[in-house]
Structure 1
Amino acid sequence: MPSAPRTPDPVRTRDEAERFLLGRVNYERRPIPPDALRLDSVRALLAELGDPHRRVPAVHIAGTKGKGTVASLVAAGATAAGLRCGLFTSPHLVRFEERLTVDGAEPDEATFVRLVADVAAAAGRAEAGGAAPATFFEVSAALGFLHFARSGCDLAALEVGLGGRLDATNVCEPVVCAITTISRDHTAQLGHTLAAIAGEKVGIAKPGVPLIWGGGPGEAGEAIRARCEAVGAPFVPVDPAGPTGDWADLPIPPGGPHQRANAATAAAIFEALRTAGWPVMPEAAARGAAGVRLAGRAERFPPPTNDRGEPIGPEILLDVAHNWASAGALAGALRADAGERPRFRRVCLVLACAKDKDAAGLLRTLLPHVDDLTCTRFLKNPRAVPPEDLAALARSLTDAPVRCDPDPQSAWAGAVRRAGAGGLAIAAGSFFLIAELRPGVAAVRAKSA
C-alpha cells in the first residue's frame, strides 16, 4: 500500500524554501517517465490556493526555441505600456526567483519565502486529500500564478516548460497563445516527427483565443493550423523575416538572424492584444523590448582591454543552445559575425551536453565554426554526458583539436587562454553548464569594465 503523504516541514527562511523545492521530483534533473506529465496535480494544488491562475489573464507561449525570448519581449513591452505584467520562464540560471518576475523585478526574499510557505502548505493539503505529489515544475508554476495574482498583475507572459498539452502552465486562461518554432527535442515525451511534436505543443490552443505561429511553412505549421481549426482558435501565421506594419520598429534582440522571427512573433502578440482592447501601443512596446537581454542566450561580453584600449583577451559568447535548432541559431550567429567583421583569430568552444539531447547533432552543427573544442560536463546536475564520451564522439566527426576536461571551470579557463586577444571563447550545450560558468564570467568582465 502507498505510504501516507508526509506533512511538509514548515518554511520560514529562504534555505527552508529551497529545501522544499529541491525535495520535489524534478524532471529538469532526471528522465521523465512516459506517464509522468499530467494536469490533475497542479489543478489540485492551485485549488488549495484559491485558483490564482484564474485571476490573471495570460499570454501563453510554447515552442522548441525562442519561447523565453518572446515571453520576455511581451512582458517588457506590456510593462512599458503601463500594464503590470508577470513573467514566468524556466529554467533559471542562478536563482529560482528568476522564474517569476513582475515588471522585471524578482520577488524579494520575504515575499519569496511567504509564497513558498503557502504553496508548501497547500501541497500538503492537496496530497492529504489524495492528489499525487506536485513536481518541482508544478510547484514552480503554482508559485508564479500565486505571485502574479497577489501582485495585482493585469497580464502574465507564461513560457511553457515542456510540450504544451500536459505542461503545468496549460491550466492558465489565455487571451493570446503563441508557438515560436518546432524542431526535434524531448522526442521520448513529445514524439519523433515534427507533426507529432506540433500536436503536443498546439495543445495550448483554446477556443476563440488567437494562436500566433512563428515557425513558418511546413509540416509542423500545417499540423498546428489543422488543430486550431478543430478547436476554433484563430490561426495567425507570421512572417519570420521580422516585424512589419505598425510594429516595424520593434527592436530585434541581439543573438543572431533567428531573433527576427522571435520579434515578429512578439509583434503579432502585441497586435492581437491591441485588437482585443488591451492598451498596448507600438511605441511603448518598442521602448520596453529595447531593454530585453536574456542571460545566457547568445550573451556576449566584450574583450578586456589594457590602458590603451587594446584587447588583452577574447570576446566571450555564452549560449544555452542544447538542441539542433538552438545550435543552428548559434551557428547562424557565427556566420553573421564572419560576414560583418574579420574572422576571429581563434574560436574556442567549451561544450557539455545532457544525456537526453542529440549530442551528435550539436557537434555536427557547431564544429565547422570552431578551431578548438573542449568537452566537459556540468557538476550540479546528474544528467551530463561523460566528457570522455562526448570527446570520443567529437573526434569521430572532426580533425580539429578536441580536448577533454571534466572540470568545467578548468575547461573554460583553458579555452579563454587559447582564444586569446582577438579570439572568441564560447560556452554552449546546456543551461546547466552556463549556469555554472556565467557568474564567474560576469564577475571577471564587470571588474575589467
Structure 2
Amino acid sequence: MQNIDEQYQLALDYIYSFIDYSLTRNLRYSAEKFNLSRMVTFMQLLGNPQLDYKVIHVAGTKGKGSTSAMLTSILTSAGIKTGFYSSPHMLEFNERIRIGRQLITNQELVDLVDEIKPFVAQVKELTSFEIITGMAFLYFSRQKVDFAVIEVGMGGRLDATNVVQPLLSIITSISHDHMKVLGSTLSKIAGEKAGIVKPGIPVVISPQKKTAKDAILTAASEKGAQVLQSDRLYNIVQGAHSLDGQYFHFVSRKENTFIAQHSSPEFFMLLIGRHQLENARTAYVALEVLKDKGFPITEDQIRDGYRNIDWPGRMEIISRNPLIIVDGAHNRDSFRKFKNTIDAYLPDKKKLLIFGASEDKEVELMLGRIQSSLDVLIITKAQHPRALEGEVIAVKAEKMNIKYHITDSVEDALATALRLADDQTVILAAGSIFIAGAVKNVWENQLLRKK
C-alpha cells in the first residue's frame, strides 16, 4: 500500500497530466484555448460549489496576491472562516489552497483529486488550472467557509476563476505583463482584467495609470458597478519602518463621501515597501465595503490581521547573516517597486542580484529599472519549462554594461553570491516567483544539511 507521500505525488502527477498553459511556450489568447465553457460545465458537474459562500474576487498585475493575503488574514482575525485560492505556488502546491492560515493537507488533496476524477473525465480538454480551481471551490464548500478570497490566475475575463458570483471585486495595480496573451497595450490588459466586474457589484481599485483606469471605469459603467478608488478615499501615512516591518495608518480624504471622515489607528505589518502600503489601503477600503454591507469587522481585528499576514516571497528575509532577501518581482513595474524598496531600506549595502526570468518577460526593461542600484548580476535559470536560457540574459546584460556572472543552476548562483558577498552585502533574488522560491529552498536545504 502506498504511503501518503506517494499518493500525494501521484495526485499532483494526475493534475499536471492535463494541459497547463502556464508551462507552455508562445501562449496565444484564442477562443479554443481560453474560454469559460469548460469551466462552467465542470462546475455544474460538481454542483456549482463556488456559489456556496461569499466571494471576494481579486485581479491585477501586481499586488493581487498580497492584497488577497491581507484580506484573508484580517477576515480570519475577525473570526470569519475564510478560504484563500492563489497561484502560482512558491515551494509547495498546497500553498494554493488554504483556509485562514492553514494550508490544505496532503491527505485532503489526495481525497479531493480522487473525488473529482469522474467529473474531470466528462469534460473534454480541461486544463490543469481549471481542475485546480474547481478543486479549490469544492474544498471551500466542503469545509463550509463563510468567505473565499479568490485570486485570478491571469487576466480576468476568461480566467477559470471568473465563474464566481462575488460580493465584491478588486483590481490592484495594472502594468505590462503577459502581453502575448492579454494584449500589447495597457488599455487592452486592463480591459481583460476588468472582465471580472459584475453587474451591480462594487469594485475597489488601486491607483492606476490613466489608460488602465479609463478601461476599468468604462467596464464598470457599462455594468452599473460602483467603483471605489482607494487613493481617492484615503491617504497613506507611513510611520517607522525597517527590514523588520512598517507602521502605517490611513487618513480619509475630503472628497471621501463613501466613508465617514476619520483617521485609522496605527497598524503594523511585516511586509515592507511603499507598494505594500498601497495594497494595505486597497484591502482597507474593501473592508469598509464589507462593513457597509453589515459585516462587523473591528479596527482591532484589522490591526491583528495586518500584523499576522503570512505571505512569503515578498521582500522576504530568509537569512540575516548573510543577508539574503527573495522577492517575486517579475515585470518592469514590479522591478521599479523592488528598486525603490531596496534603495529605501538598504541604501548603503552592496547589492548582488540572483536573476532569472521566463521567456515572455521584458528582461531589458526589468534590468533597466534596477541597474543603477545593482553591483553584480548573477544569472541563473529556474527549473521551469518557460525559463529563459541564461546565455540569452547574459547577452542583454552585456549590452547594458552590467557586471555579471552566469551560472548553470540556482545552487551555483547562490554559491557564487555567497563567495562574492561580505558583511556589507545583501544577496537579492528576483525575476520570477520560481527563482525566489528556488533560492529559498536551496538555502533552507543547506541549513538542514549543516544541522
Same fold by TM-score greater than 0.5: yes
Q: Deviations over 1:28-78 (max 9, x none)?
A: 211323212111111111111111001011101100000000000001100
**In structure 1, which of residues 190, 194, 197 is the aligned counterpart of residue 186 of structure 2?**
194
Q: Could you tell me which residue of structure 2 aligns to residue 5 of structure 1?
A: none
CA distance in 2, matches of 1:241, 1:64: 22
Q: Structure 1's 299 and 445: CA in aligned 2 closer, same or farther, altered over 3 A?
A: farther
Aligned to 1:148: 140
For 2:264 and 2:94, locate their aligned partners in 1 and report how far apart those are by CA, in whole Å.
Answer: 31
**Counterpart mapping for 1:273-312 below 5 A:** 273-304=290-321
Q: Within 5 Å, which residues of 2 pair with 1:263-412? A: 263-304=280-321, 314-338=322-346, 343-344=348-349, 346-379=350-383, 381-398=384-401, 400-412=402-414
Matches of 1:167 and 1:201 in 2, distance apart? 9
Assess if the C-alpha contact under 8 Å between 1:179 and 1:214 holds in 2. Answer: yes
CA distance in 2, matches of 1:219, 1:29: 30
Pairing of 1:60-99 with structure 2 (within 5 A)? 60-99=57-96
CA distance in 2, matches of 1:30, 1:283: 45
* Alignment equivalent of 1:422, drawn from 413, 419, 424: 424
Displacement of 1:170 after TM fit?
Answer: 0.8
The structure-2 alpha-carbon separation of the partners of 1:445 and 1:246, relative to structure 1 and needing over 3 Å to count, comes to: farther
Q: Which amino acid is 1:59 matched to? A: I
CA distance in 1, matches of 2:450, 2:149: 35
Q: For 2:113, what is the secondary structure of its paired residue?
A: helix
SS at match of 1:13: helix
1:258 partnered with 2:252: no
Find out whether 1:163 has 2:155 as its counterpart.
yes
- TM-fit CA distance, 1:216: 3.8
Deviation at 1:80, TM superposition (A): 0.5
Q: Secondary structure at the match of 1:171?
A: coil
Question: Bigger CA drift: 267-276 or 401-410?
Answer: 401-410
- Structure 2 gap segments, 5+ residues each: 237-249, 252-261
SS at 2:354's partner residue?
A: strand
- 1:218 & 1:178 partners in 2: Cα distance? 17
Change beyond 3 A, Cα 1:371–1:12: closer
Task: Summarize the Cα distance change of 1:208–1:25 in structure 2 as closer, same or farther, 3 Å threshold.
Answer: same
Q: Which runs of 5+ in 1 are unaligned?
A: 1-10, 305-313
Q: Does the 8 Å contact 1:20/1:120 carry over to 2?
A: no
Separation in 2, partners of 1:441, 1:402: 21
Give the counterpart letter for 2:352 in structure 1.
Answer: C
Could you say what secondary structure the match of 1:258 adopts? Answer: helix
Q: Distance in 1 between matches of 2:57 and 2:120?
A: 24
Query: In structure 2, how many angstroms separate the alpha carbons of the residues matched to 1:273 and 1:249?
Result: 20
Which structure's residues are more often strand, by fraction? 2
Identity among equivalent pairs (%): 29
2:274 is paired with a residue of what secondary structure? coil
Of the three residues 8, 11, 21, the one matched with 1:14 is 8
* Matched-pair contact (CA < 8 Å) for 1:252–1:260: no
Q: Is the 8 A contact 1:210 1:233 kept in 2?
A: yes
* Residues 11-39 of structure 1 deviation map (CA, whole Å, 9 limit, x = unaligned): 99212211111101112211323212111
Counterparts in 2 of 1:89 and 1:157: CA distance versus 1, 3 Å: same
Q: Which residue of 2 aligns with 1:25?
A: 19
Distance 1:277 1:360 in 2: 48
CA distance in 1 between partners of 2:136 and 2:267 (Å): 27
Structure-1 separation of matches of 2:82 and 2:294: 16
Give the corresponding residue for 1:53.
Answer: 50
**Residue in structure 2 matched with residue 307 of structure 1 by the alignment:** none
Query: Partners of 1:442 and 1:172 in 2: how far apart?
Result: 38
Query: Alpha-carbon deviation of 1:217?
Result: 5.3
Deviation at 1:253, TM superposition (A): 4.8
The 1-side partners of 2:421 and 2:146 are apart by 47
Partner of 2:230: 238
3-state SS of 2:103 partner: coil
Aligned pair count reads 419
What displacement does 1:445 show?
6.0
1:251–1:263 contact (8 Å) kept in structure 2: no
Mapped contact 1:377–1:385 kept (Cα < 8 A): yes
Aligned-CA RMSD value: 2.0
Quote how far apart the aligned CAs of 1:194 are: 1.3
User: Which letter does structure 1 place at the counterpart of 2:368?
Assistant: R
Relative to structure 2, which stretch is displaced further, 323-332 or 438-447?
Answer: 438-447
Amino acid of the residue matched to residue 364 of structure 1? G
Q: Does the CA-based 8 Å contact 2:101-2:310 persist in structure 1?
A: no
Equivalent AA in structure 1 for residue 341 of structure 2: A
Check whether the contact 2:380–2:408 (CA below 8 A) recurs between aligned residues.
yes
Deviation readout 1:70-123 (Å, 9 max, x if unpaired): 000001100110100000010001211110100210122221111111122210
Matched, 1:133 2:135: no
1:373 is paired with a residue whose SS is: strand
Cα distance in structure 1, aligned partners of 2:83 and 2:416:
40
Taking structure 2 as the reference length, the TM-score comes to 0.89
- Cα offset for 1:303? 2.4
* Contact kept? 2:29, 2:182, Cα under 8 Å: no
Cα deviation, residue 442, structure 1: 3.5
How far off its partner does 1:252 sit?
4.8
Tell me the equivalent position of 2:258: none
